[in-house]
Chain A
Amino acid sequence: MSVAVVIGVGLVAFALGLAAGFWLPPNGRIRLGDRPVPVRRILLPFTAQGISKRAFEAAVRLAKAENATIMPAFLARVPRQLPLDSPLAAQCGEAMPLLEAIEQRVTSQGVGVDSRIARGRSYRDALRRLLEEEQFDRVIVSATNSPNKGLTSDDLEWLLERVPAEVLILRPAPEDTSRISAGALSGHF
């Protein structure tokens, strides 16, 4: 009798196991990491000139430590003569491989990524519009000595004064000339 009960319990357990296996995704169980957790968002603005490697690495380190999502945002300048909502095929031609390269690098580090493209009459205007639409916990930018390479010192001052998020400005350094460019893409894109 007791043997029959044990066998019966065993069969029921087996059937339940089968049902659970059928119901769950084939390649995994529910992991702790899959549970929704509050997501922090780190904005990483950049322009067609590329993105500072130091700023990128700082963003990845912080994102890992804070379980945050990195939001690389390409800032596009719309020429004065064009409407602000114009398609920008030429700039997108620069931005798309760059975003792809950044995303590949971020995901290879096990960090979440959610890209954006923002348009404006200037880089600052594009950033302002993005910040009006979305909220971020941190903004990471790299200061540059060259006014043509991205956000100017005036822009950074504006960022510190106006943005309701923690702003991390990295000083220019010799190694900061090292930038992530579209050439960093792996595979066919």
Chain B
Amino acid sequence: MKGNSYLPRKIHSLLGVIPLGLFIVEHALTNYSAYEGGKEGFSDSIDLLNSLPLVLWMEIFLIWLPILFHGVYGLYIAYQSNINTGRFSYGRNWAFTAQRITGVITFIFIAWHFYETRLQVALGNVSHEELGQHMNSIVSDPLAFTAYIIGVLAATFHFANGLWAFLVSWGITVGPRAQKVSSNICMVIFVIIAALFLLSLFAFRGDEFASAAATALSSVSVG
């Protein structure tokens, strides 16, 4: 095999599911602990993740580098595609277009989200214990909250629909029936993961995650 577009495209497709698809599921579950277990549940989840061995190396090789390759090559794939939903307004063609649009949105969202959270932790501006409060202060701003909702929905759709395309591109779902069934399953996955993320976003807005000072103030005024 000579150097050509087949291999990078195949790697792009694989990375989207393994490890990035697994990471998005993990991320949704971790965040959901903020909804389910409140401040304590969320901080337990964070402690659990950070107690994993080689956690920084896993972040680098299973999250950051795959996202960088998938994102940059994905922008190139989006650039190579036309939008013709005006002439061919079929469901799958809309999904094709949405896959490219949500991909670009997700790439920008992840860059911003990484800067606000993981980078601030790395710079020592935010500690692991303060992450819940930190998220609270971000999503308390209505504009940032809206951006998070859009970003989370885009990322989740991109993953779920990408999983459908992965199954086709690797020749796992071949016939129209298999592709129809997998499409339905992937849309259920989209709804479930989106719900997990949205619930956690709303949970982060709650008083429980407000900073200690703000909580003290509100309890004084209530008392």
Mutual binders A and B = no
- A interface vs B, CB < 8 Å? none
